[in-house]
Chains A and B, each alone.
Chain A
């Protein structure tokens, strides 16, 4: 789906912020991008849809060089949720806001109308809300709904759940997961919430100072304390605890698994 080939990028008047980065994300994957503040996560996501162009190397989207294609064309394939929803929202009602990208991409009226209602229902939004006076979390949800509306094949989410309450967070992530599972939508998600990453992503890219430190299965990365420490990321609590507890807790990642393992220990001890 998307391939980085030895990509370097630096903002004008700064040192290289991305240096010799290579990775490949296949169709249908659910990948999390983690790293400390300023590690280059947002920069990488912007490289994916051509908002930034690499200064060296190539970014290929379905084999198509992103530096040769305008972002507005790539937008047909790539849905993008910005870190700050207020950048994205520009219409007076939620309904128009959700229709916006479909209109920009030339869908016909009928299809737009149907799709908008579908999305409104799925995200529990009222079509006639004035987006700018909703709460931060609601605006986030509106922005995500807008990004998902035109059925992208690659979904890039820059911190999709910051500022959302737990229930909201779960609802959004479940919707994204369903898209990923049922429609084969590829997801690249930036997040600082390791619990979220562990629960939803299957693969993790670990970033530090614009370089790729690690790339692998989410379970392996979560247990790799040295890797996470060098990326200045705090691991999720349960796997970290499991690691501390050692023997008998190797396969423990969730609260349920932890409870199960402890029960088993207890049973063995009382025998």
Chain B
């Protein structure tokens, strides 16, 4: 259901070090941003689908791709109408609507968005936030409190979304009709819900903080975790491949 939840598994991808996974996702994204060819972006998307299939994540990856394509489509239309380089492609009553340059840059940008976001979102499917937090502390020697802030922020996102759904349900039960097509009206209806969401979130954060403190949060250091997160051959391999990919993309620029 939730497109960012963890999908447990034991594949090559799953077994990588969490730090490697994070770096890999970013490197892949950087490669896609650097890349300047429509065909290559398509290849990157397909490659990512293949990689996720190897970890049994194809359904998730396809669902994500579909969502991202909607976002891509949105950017496509905007680019198409606003980039005015190249030869006119489509005119209506003497006004040039679409140019070749516009079409190319729109296609490139929207595919790039999909290709860049896909690995980052798939990262969440193969990484437990706890593992990421511990690995950041153990391997990158990030102070625990900062690692904790980062990972907790991610953990709270689905929590907030379910909390928001509950609050919306409560208002629906009191006769608020959210099913309106009118955007202004919709915003007017949803905006007041931010109050209970904010209140309950702040309360929750506050009591979580106190409870963490009471359980000895301050005492936690690099040696506290019993689980080790060694870098292995696979990590080196994955990182080498991705660095190579980024280098290639940069070279072709």
A interface residues, Cβ below 8 angstroms from B: 12-13, 46, 49, 51, 70-73, 75-76, 78, 80, 82, 86-92, 100-101, 104-105, 132, 146-147, 150
Contacts and interface: CB of A to CB of B under 8 A. Distances in A.
Nearest to A101: B174
A88 B174 contact: yes
Contacts of B166: 87
25 contacts: A12-B1, A49-B173, A51-B172, A70-B177, A70-B179, A72-B172, A73-B177, A75-B173, A75-B174, A76-B175, A80-B173, A80-B174, A82-B170, A86-B200, A86-B203, A88-B171, A88-B174, A90-B167, A90-B195, A91-B195, A92-B195, A104-B176, A104-B177, A146-B174, A147-B174
Given A70-B177, A132-B199, A90 B192 contact: yes
Contact of B174 (A13, A73, A100): A100
Contacts of B167: 87, 90
A89 B167 CA distance: 9
Nearest to B198: A132
A150 B203 CA distance: 30
Interface residues of B, number: 21
B178 interface: yes
B196 interface: yes
Please report whether the interface of chain B is mostly helix, strand, loop or mixed according to DSSP.
helix
Which interface residue of B170, B175, B195, B199 has the most chain A CB atoms within 10 A? B175
Interface in B15-71: none
B130 to A, nearest CB: 21
B193 interface: yes
A72 B170 contact: no
Interface string B156-190: 00000000001101111111111100000000000
A101 to B, nearest CB: 4
Contacts of A86: 196, 199-200, 203
Given A87-B166, A87-B170, A91-B192, A101 B199 contact: no
A72 B176 contact: yes
B125 to A, nearest CB: 15
A47 to B, nearest CB: 12
B169 A51 contact: yes
Contacts of B192: 90-91
B1 A90 contact: no
Contacts of B178: 72
